Structure 1
Amino acid sequence: MKALLALILLLQLPIHKAVPAAPPAPLGCDDPKSEAAAAAAVNYINGNSHHGYMFTLNRIENIRVLPQGPNNEIIFLELDLLETTCHILSPTPLENCTVRSFTDHAVEGDCDVKLQNTNGQLSVVASKCHSNADSGEDVRQHCPDCALLAAWNDTEVQAAVTEALNDYNSKNGGAYIKLLEIGRAKIQHHPAHIVFVEFAVAATNCSTEEANVETCQLLPDDQSNFGFCTATKVITPSKELQVNCQLYGHQPGVTYSPPGQYTPAGLVPGVVQGFINHNLRLSHNNPLASESFSSEFSASMLSAKSVARRAVAEVAQHDKVPRPVGFVPPPPPCPGKIRHFKI
C-alpha cells in the first residue's frame, strides 16, 4: 500500500522537459579568435607563395565556425588582403612591411581559407586566392598624374629592367646578378616621361668581371642569394637612370620556382603577356583546395551570412526599445573593420 501511494505521488510531480541550449552567438569578424585565425591564414598564404609580394590583412569579411567534437572545430574565413612593398623572397617580417598605398596603384587579394582548430592549434586545410589591381580610373580620380601599373612585357619596361641590371653589374663588384622576375612596373607620361620598375634578382656563379655572362647560372639552393631591385628611368625631359639593389644573403630553406621559360635576360616576354601584377591564384596553390572546397565554403558562408543578418535584425529590433543615454548598440558580427583602405 505504501509503495502504491509513493508511485501515485511520484506521478503527480511536475515533469520538466530538457530545454535545448540556445545556439552560440555568431563569432564576430573582429573577435580575437577570428583575428588569430586570420593571422594564421595570412602567414600560410605568404609562406606558400613563390612570386610577387607579401600580402597583409585588410579586413575579415566573414567567418564561420563548425564544431567537430571536443576541442576540435573547422573555421571558414573570407579575407581581404592588400599587397605590401616586401617581395616574397625578402626576409623582412610581415609586420615591418609597408602596405602599398592607394595612389601607388594598390593590389587587393581575396582569399577563402579553411582551417582546423585542434586544442587551440590552428592549421590551414585548404585555401583559394586571387588578386587584382585597383582600376586605373579609381587611381586617377584621386591622383590624375599618378603613374599606373604597366604590363611587364611592355618594351619600355623591358628596356628599363635590362639597363638597370647592366648598370648595377657594371658598377658593383662581386657576383653577377640575374633577373628572376619583374614584380611591378609603372609608366608616367606627364609632366615627365618616367619608367619605374621593381624586380627580383639572384646571384650567379659568375663574377661581374667575367666577360661571358651568357653562361652564368644561378647558385644552387644551398648557396642561393636572392635580392630585390628598384629602378627609375627618366626618358624626358632629360635622360637619367637610378638603380638600387639589395642582396639578402643566403636564406636556408628559401627557394624560387621559375614560372616559365627564361633567357639570360630573364623572363621570356611572351610568358608574361599582358600581366601587370602577380596573381595569388598563380603564385599560391594548395593541392587540397578544389571546387568541392569552394562549394563547401560557399554553402557555409551563406549560412554564416544568414546568421549575421538575423543578428543585425535583432539589434535593430532591440533599438526600438528605449535605451539609457549613451547606449551604443553592438556592431554586426561581420564584416570586420578595415585596417588600411578599401579598394
Structure 2
Amino acid sequence: MKALVALILLIQLPAHRAAPAAPPPAPLGCDDPESEAAAEFAVNYINGHSHHGYKFALNRIDNIRVVPQGLNNDIMFLELDLLETTCHILNPTPLANCTVRSFTQHAVEGDCDVKLQKLDGKLSVLASKCHSHADSSEDLLQMCPDCPLLASLNNTEVLATVTAALNEHNSNSADPYLQLLEIGRARIQYHPAHSVSVEFAVAATNCSAGEAKDNVEACQLLPEDQSNFGFCTASRLIRPSEDLRVDCQLYGHQPGVTYSQPGQDTSAGLVPSVAQGFTNHNLRLSHNNPVASESASSEFPSSVLSAKPVAKRAVAEAAQHDKVPRPVGFVPPPPPCPGKIRHFSI
C-alpha cells in the first residue's frame, strides 16, 4: 500500500513543479516612449534647477539603463545631449516654445547624467551632473566663415556695449529703472564691419529713470513678492560708424521665480565662471552631483560600463561583425542606443 501511494505521488510530482521564471525584460531603447518621458522629466528638472544662463532642450538620449529595485520601483540612469535655446532661465515661455539656437549662432551643447527613481509610475530626480560648452570655433568657421564667434562675457567691448545699451534703454523708457543681473552671451564680428551683439538679463528696481539719475545708489531690486525680471538684446556698430540698438522686455511678476545672486559684486553682471573669461554659462555651476552617473554611484560597481563612448563602440562593433546573410530588402532594427538626433550634431 505504501509503495502504491509513493508511486501516485511520484506521478503527480511534475504537475506541481514551479513555473519557469519569466525572462528578464528587454532593455529600454533610447527612443522608446518610456525613455523619452523620463528624458523630458529630467530636462525640465535641469532647467528648473539651473541658476544662470539659458534653458536647454533635448537633442539626443545617449544612453539609458534601468536597475530594478523591487516591485514597481526602478532606478534609471540617463545620459543626455542638450542644446541651448534662446530662452533665458527667467523667461516664462514653456520650453516647447523656445527656439533652439542654430549652429551658425555658435551653438552651446550640454552633457548631462541624471539619476531618477520611478516608483509606482511616478518619476523623481535623485541627482544630476552636467557641463556645457560652446561648439569649436573651427567647426563654425569651416561652415560659415563670416559668422561672428562667441566672445568672453567679460570682454571690454562686451561690457561697454551692455553698459551703453542699458543706459540707452533707461534714458528713453517709461519702465522702472532696470538693473543688470547677468550677461547671457555676446558675439563680436570684425568683418566686413566691426560690431558687438549682446544679450543680458535685467530686473526692475524701485526707482524711476529720473530718480535713478539723481541717486542711482538708492535704487534697489524689488522684493521677492514683487520681483519683475526681464531680458535685453542689443547690437552696437563700432566701425565704420557708431550705432546702437537695444530692445528690452519685462516679463512681469512671476510668483515663486527667483534669481540666484552670486556672493560678489554684480555691478558688471558677472558670475564667478564668467569672471575667468568664459564664453557661456556652464551648467556645472548648477548641476554637479557625481551620484548622477552610474559609474560614480556607490550602489553599483565601477566595472559597470554605460558611458557614451562604450555605447557607441558597442553599436559600431555589432555592425562590423554582423556577417549573417540577410534576405533582400531586410532592414535591421535600429540599435537601442544612442537615440535619434532631434536638431543637429556638434
Normalization by structure 1: what TM-score? 0.90
Question: In structure 2, the residue corresponding to 1:175 is in which secondary structure?
Answer: coil
1:5 is aligned to 2:8:
no
1:244 is aligned to 2:247:
yes
2:334 to 319, 322, 331: 331
Q: Is the 8 A contact 1:64 1:304 kept in 2?
A: no
Shift of 1:20: 4.0
**Residue identity matched to 2:72:** N
Alignment of 1:213-252 (within 5 A): 213-252=216-255
Q: Is the 8 A contact 2:113 2:292 kept in 1?
A: no
**Residue identity matched to 2:185:** R
Q: Deviations over 1:229-288 (max 9, x none)?
A: 0000001112110101000000000000112422545448996221210000013456xx
Residue segments in structure 1 that go unaligned for 5+ positions in a row: none
Partner of 2:184: 183
Question: In structure 1, the residue corresponding to 2:177 is in which secondary structure?
Answer: strand
Residue segments in structure 2 that go unaligned for 5+ positions in a row: none
Change in Cα spacing, 1:25 to 1:5, as seen in structure 2 (3 Å) is same
Q: Deviations over 1:56-97 (max 9, x none)?
A: 100000000011111111100000000000000000000000
Q: Is the 8 A contact 2:115 2:293 kept in 1?
A: no
Shift of 1:173: 1.5
Counterpart Cα distance in 2 of 1:244 and 1:17: 73
Partner of 2:86: 85
Partner of 2:61: 60
Change in Cα spacing, 1:298 to 1:151, as seen in structure 2 (3 Å) is farther
Alignment of 1:174-213 (within 5 A): 174-210=175-211, 211-213=214-216
Per mean C-alpha deviation after superposition, the further-off stretch among 138-147 and 252-261 is 252-261
Change in Cα spacing, 1:299 to 1:30, as seen in structure 2 (3 Å) is farther
Alignment of 1:99-138 (within 5 A): 99-138=100-139
- Identity level (%): 69
Counterpart Cα distance in 2 of 1:60 and 1:246: 34
Question: In structure 1, the residue corresponding to 2:66 is in which secondary structure?
Answer: strand
Per mean C-alpha deviation after superposition, the further-off stretch among 111-120 and 10-19 is 10-19
Q: Is the 8 A contact 2:75 2:118 kept in 1?
A: yes
**Residue identity matched to 2:342:** R
Question: In structure 1, the residue corresponding to 2:139 is in which secondary structure?
Answer: helix
Q: Deviations over 1:198-226 (max 9, x none)?
A: 00000011101112113211111111000
Q: Is the 8 A contact 2:294 2:306 kept in 1?
A: no
Counterpart Cα distance in 2 of 1:54 and 1:339: 16
Change in Cα spacing, 1:282 to 1:69, as seen in structure 2 (3 Å) is same
**RMSD (Å) for aligned C-alpha atoms:** 2.9
Counterpart Cα distance in 2 of 1:219 and 1:123: 33
1:320 is aligned to 2:319:
no
Partner of 1:280: 283
Q: Deviations over 1:89-129 (max 9, x none)?
A: 00000000000111101000000000000111110011111
Question: In structure 2, the residue corresponding to 1:302 is in which secondary structure?
Answer: coil
Q: Is the 8 A contact 2:151 2:186 kept in 1?
A: yes
How many positions carry a matched residue from both structures?
A: 339
Question: In structure 1, the residue corresponding to 2:46 is in which secondary structure?
Answer: helix
Counterpart Cα distance in 2 of 1:93 and 1:104: 21
